[in-house]
Amino acid sequence: MKPIRLQPVNVKALWAGNRLSKLRNLEEGTGIIREVCAYRKSENSILNDEYKGMNLRDLINLHYNDLMGNDNSDQMIRAAYIDAREDLSIQVHPGEEYAKKMENDFGKSESWYVLECDENSSVIAGCSINDSELLKQVAINGSIEEYLIRIPVRQGDFVYIPAGLIHACGKGTLVMEIGSFGGVTYRMYDYGRGRELHLDKGFQVLDTSLRASKKEFPLDSRNKNRIENGVVSKEFKVDVIDTIGSQRITKENKYHILTCVLNECNIIIDEEKYSLHYTETLLIPASINEYEIQGDCRVLCSYRP
């Protein structure tokens, strides 16, 4: 099986910034672009080769071994861009057990890689009090912001958000969100915008003791080929691959999701070249055991543990 290019799924949002629209030459108001998604009725379609027009879920079902390899799940890691002009709603995602029992779904942990952001940008991740009842009261009366933890972010930062952690993407940020399989979100606070809140279920899954982890990968530190762990969780891993010239990557029976997050690059497989411009993504099936990255670039490589 050859590498797979996917048709991005563009989603408009009232809170959208203008970075995605400019990068992809899209209509203004595009707040989310789903780069890789096999989740219910949100699937990407295939752009290349004999599978053109097929959706990703059907391709997984048709060629599971070639595409997914030794993965013990028939679900695929999600990857999407979020372009936030303003602070997004405060929310929390359930873990695996609760999601399966209450929502017939999967748990949802995720991570944010910051591609671009305004000066003094931040994200919300965690709360400063352990009293869930008090937190519920302040969510209802609108003073919850006082108890939320803001984490400053800049270009190249990686923030991991486990299931159960209260969180929100901050204004003026363009992030790539990479996460596990689930799609359930409980909205806890929405700055008085009038959308439905899900406080009962949200507080059943909220863990006030959780904290986010942040790793910094400043772009001015790129002076050699290197591969570093950006996120390590039981559901997914993301490596930050900096390349100056070329480097060869080997893998064993796992799919890789490659996203170019700095400059542009070429992916070489069996002497064939696959070009990736800034923000573009390529899905490498499990049946491909090695590839080469060429260019002066940074690539995120997302895969299953």
Strand partners, 78: 179
> Residue for token digits 């990068």?
23
Rg of the chain, C-alpha, whole Å? 19
Instruction: Write b or e for each residue in 143-158: b if 16 or more Cβ atoms lie within 10 A of its Cβ, otherwise e.
Output: ebeebbbebebbbbbb
Q: Binding site annotation covers 167?
A: yes
The encoded tokens of residue 115 equal: 């591609």
DSSP string, 55-98: BHHHHHHHSHHHHHTT-S-S---EEEEEEESSPPPEEE---HHH
Strand partners, 127: 148
The Cα 241–Cα 225 span in angstroms is 8
Just list the catalytic residues: 187
The Cα 112–Cα 129 span in angstroms is 24
Indicate the pairing of strand 265-269 with strand 290-303: antiparallel
Q: Binding site annotation covers 277?
A: no
Q: Binding site annotation covers 93?
A: yes
Cβ atoms of 158 and 230 closer than 8 Å: yes
Give binding residues for Zn(2+) as ranges.
Answer: 93, 110, 167
Give binding residues as ranges.
Answer: 93, 110, 167
